[in-house]
Amino acid sequence: MDGSQGFKTFYGGCPHDCPDTCSMVYTVKDNKLISVTGNKDHPMTRGGLCVKLKDYEKRHYHPDRLLYPLKRTGPKGCKQFKRITWGEALTEISTKWKKIIAEDGPHAIMPNSYLGNQGLVHGLNGGDALFNRMGATVCERTFCGEGSCTAWLLTVGPTAGVDPESFAHSKYIVIWACNSVSTNLHHWHIIHEAQKRGAKVVVVDSYASKTAKEADWHIAPKPGTDGALAMAMMNVIISEGLVDQDYVDNYTLGYKELAERAKTRTPEWAAEITGIPAEDIRKFAREYATTPPAAIRLGVALERNYGGSQAIRAVSCLPALIGAWRHVGGGALQFPVWEHPYKFDVISRPDFIPEGTPVVNNLQLGRALTGELNLKTPIKSMMVWNTNPLTQAPETDKIAKGLANEDLFLVVAEHFMSDTAAYADIVLPAAMGAEMEDMVLSWGHLYLTYNEKCIDPPGEAIPNNEIFRRLAKLMGYEEDNFKWNDTECLENYVDWNSPTCDGIDLDYLRKHGFARLKAFGDKDTRARHAKGEFPTPSGKCQLMAEGAKNFVAGPFRQMYEGFQPLEDLDPLPDYVKSRETPDTNPELAEKYPLNIISPKSHGFLNSCYANVEEKIKGQGEQFVLINQLDATARNIKTGDVVKVFNGRGEFAGVAKISDDVNAGIVVATLGYWRQLNNGTVNCISSAEFGDMGHSTTFSDNLVEVALS
């Protein structure tokens, strides 16, 4: 798009790990990015940007940005580097890798990425083809939502569920374990408008988040007890005759068995577990069942306790019990990405992976690097892009110890000298959003979002995919994937012949910046499962999934099907206890009596922006929310520096005494950088998996808090 006085505008897509995937407009003059604004034509994001992105152009020109390849000259972690050329950097990497492959085999090399960029070309799976071709150890990436995916797919299959825009028609809206105001802002606007028109908004969250404070009713179960609440809702719905029996009889599987289990899951039983009065549970169930259309927005935080995925299965069953799916604006919303036409097999090329290739999960990186996992082939080299495990992964003290090993050859592609990059042997400067072509995946709406390259990267930074192309050439890989430019990647990575892409191609996206997927109606007509048609093996909502085995969805493990967990799963949903709470682990609670919740920060996007002075000022210094009762017992006052600790580690923060948390619970948010603080919250987090999908247990940890 051309503008006046030398200004030109281009379409962009926010690349960050957020369900909103905002359509944006870049304004450029003389090859410089002047401003980034929201695209007002986009029906979902409507021209708004969150506090993280509102001055996105400044991030491109931040004075600390990495501009040239660097080679380590001092001890690991001390940030002593010298500038080298791209030729030197890539030659050293490929030479080291070839030597490791010759001496130890390709399993000694491991990729590590996540959703620091959500682009199809430059994002999570962008390096998969290279490392799969190499035969490297597969990285299973389950930081966020993967247990939720397993539970959702078992219950309703790969469906987008209720359109997020259709919440405009909902009369009863449940936001379950999602802080929409901070992490799903544009969906919150739709919900808030429905609320103004009379819809009741209920937030289920263990602390009073920004979203909970905007709700008509905040229900605060003890951490990790949501499954008991959902099962007790089932008990009420079934025992009081609030079931849509016609819908259940025709479009569900396993109702009889679920009803039998729910008989003993009474509100009184759940009240003892959740701390929610039995009459409140009854009221919640009755209102939900009798106020159509009723919609549930499931947050990924619901999975972050052992048993969290079973809770998600229980919640995912509720809409079918009351026939909510019959209505526009009725049902449940998890990840709409299941209806997007992405060709992950082409992106990742799992056919390259040799049989028997091992898998290491990124949550257990510290254990892998320190020898705790007893890998048959220890990791001798790792390449990291689009992630910062030294703040975002659990058991970070173990990760720091592993990264400090001089025998580990670490390559990091980054924008800034992150905590993880500080330990690298080679640091590669990566391009940012406006500097590369891509299409940005959305896990929060039903639009394809195009991102146009509109400026050149500063210094010698290059896009991730160009890094992988150059490395593939030096490694001697000749397959077509490694020769495609970014445009050719997009032509091959999307199923443009899918019915969802009717009338949409890459040229259309270039002209408009975004396109709504076509299948199953628009926001005013979509009732995806009014007549069942669930994409499950039975074609029905599977209240019972007989013979179910545990698994991790393909895109989160390089599309590799080897070494899936495959434990037998309970055919029915239920409440499953957390590992670390005073009720379930009283012996541990004698030393560490407080549950800690670690939600995402309002001012950061995971660890992105947590090094930017203006964003730190807006977010505030690292803090610990604590109830007055717990603070008084520890002689803590607001403003005191406290340490939060358990047997895994500790971090420091400023105490904030608040009624936003109940007694027995403290809150500290994710994203702060380790090098700028005395530890971060994931120092105390366990790397143990949740009950499904190798999910996280970030909110299943006991700690103690004391004056520092």
272-283 pLDDT per residue, tens: 999 999 999 999
Cβ-contact 395, 646 below 8 angstroms:
no
Q: Are 446 and 517 in contact (CB under 8 A)?
A: yes
pLDDT of residue 705: 98
Burial tier of 38 (Cβ tally within 10 Å: 0-12, 13-18, 19+): buried
Is the model's pLDDT at 12 over the cut of 60?
A: yes
Nearest residue to 19 (alpha-carbon basis) of 485, 437, 444, 388: 444
Q: Which residues, including other chains, have CB under 8 Å from residue 478's CB and lie 6 or more apart?
A: none
pLDDT of res. 6: 86
Contact in structure between 166 and 199 (CB atoms under 8 Å) = no
| Helix 267-274 and helix 278-290, axial crossing angle in degrees, nearest 10 | 120
DSSP of 303-337:
GSSTTHHHHHHHHHHHHHHHTGGGSTT-EEES-GG
Q: What pLDDT score was predicted for residue 389? A: 96
Q: For the segment 319-339, what is each residue's pLDDT rounded down to a tens digit? A: 999 999 999 999 999 999 999
pLDDT value of residue 507? 97
Average pLDDT over residues 490-504: 96
Q: Provide the β-strand partners of residue 623.
A: 654
Average pLDDT, the chain: 97
| 448-493 pLDDT tens trace | 999 999 999 999 999 999 999 999 999 999 999 999 999 999 999 9
Q: How far is CA 114 from the centre of its chain?
A: 9
Asked if 311 and 317 count as a contact pair (C-beta separation under 8 A), the reply is no
Confidence class for position 223, pLDDT limits 50, 70, 90: very high
Rounded average pLDDT over 407-411 = 98
CA gap 583, 567 in Å, rounded: 26
Percentage of residues of the chain with pLDDT beyond 70 = 99
Burial of 321 (0-12, 13-18, 19+ CB in 10 A): buried
- Residue/partner pairs of 546-552 with CB below 8 Å, 24 or more apart: 546/254, 546/571, 547/571, 548/154, 550/150, 550/692, 550/693, 551/150, 551/693, 552/140, 552/142, 552/146, 552/150, 552/693, 552/694
Do 267 and 282 touch, CB atoms closer than 8 A?
yes
Sign of dihedral through CA atoms 545, 551, 556, 558? negative
Q: Find where tokens 């979002």 sit.
A: 449
CA dist list (Å): 69 to 90, 428, 506: 9, 5, 33
Give the tokens for residue 189.
């606007």
d(CA 479, CA 468): 13
CA 18 from chain centre, in angstroms, equals 8
Residue by residue, DSSP assigns 411-451 as EEEESS--TTGGG-SEEEEBP-GGGS-EEE--SSSSEEEEE
Give the N- to C-terminal CA distance of the chain in Å, as an integer.
Answer: 56
pLDDT tens string 380-407 = 999 999 999 999 999 999 999 999 999 9
Environment class of residue 256 by beta-carbon count within 10 Å: exposed (0-12), middle (13-18) or buried (19+)?
A: exposed
**Burial label, 84 (beta-carbon count in 10 A; 0-12, 13-18, 19+):** middle
Report how far residue 261's alpha carbon sits from residue 282's, in angstroms, rounded to the nearest whole number: 18
Evaluate the omega torsion of the peptide bond into residue 293 and state whether it is cis, within 30 degrees of 0. yes
* Whole-number pLDDT of residue 4: 64
CB 10 within 8 A of CB 1: yes
Q: In the predicted model, is pLDDT for residue 2 greater than 60?
A: no
State the DSSP string of 559-608: T--TT----B--SS------SSSTTT-HHHHHH--EEEE-PBPSSSBTTB
DSSP state of 461: -
Task: Count CA within 13 A, CB hemisphere, residue 565.
Answer: 23
pLDDT 10s digits, 358-387: 999 999 999 999 999 999 999 999 999 999
Phi/psi at 601 (5° precision):
-80, 150
The tens digit of pLDDT for each residue in 56-99 reads 999 999 999 999 999 999 999 999 999 999 999 999 999 999 99
Cα dist. 383→138, 345, 708 in Å? 12, 21, 36
% of the chain residues with pLDDT over 90: 99
Spatial neighbors of 492 by CB under 8 A, at least 6 apart, are: 343, 346, 484
CA distance 151 to 161: 14
Cβ–Cβ under 8 Å, residues 527 and 520: no
The whole-angstrom separation of Cα 435 and Cα 250 is 52
Cβ of 47: how many Cβ atoms within 10 Å? 15
pTM above 0.75, yes or no: yes
Q: Please tell me which residue, 5 or 468, carries the higher pLDDT value.
A: 468
Q: How many angstroms separate the CA atoms of 624 and 597, rounded?
A: 10
For 32-45, the DSSP string reads EEEEEEE-TT-TTT
Taking CA atoms, 540 is separated from 137, 248, 409, 464, 543, in Å, by 37, 9, 49, 41, 9
Size of the chain, expressed as the number of residues it contains: 708
Query: 99: part of which helix (H) or strand (E)?
Result: helix 86-104
Report in angstroms the alpha-carbon separations of 574 from 230, 263, 311, 627.
9, 12, 7, 30
CA distance 645 to 661: 18
| CA distances to 94, 98, 216 from 91, in Å | 5, 10, 60
Q: Say if CB 571 and CB 360 are below 8 A apart.
A: no
pLDDT of residue 1 exceeding 60, the answer is no
- Residues 21 and 118: beta-carbon distance below 8 Å: yes
Q: What is the DSSP letter of 528?
A: T
Among 133, 110, 129, 107, smallest CA distance to 381 is for 110
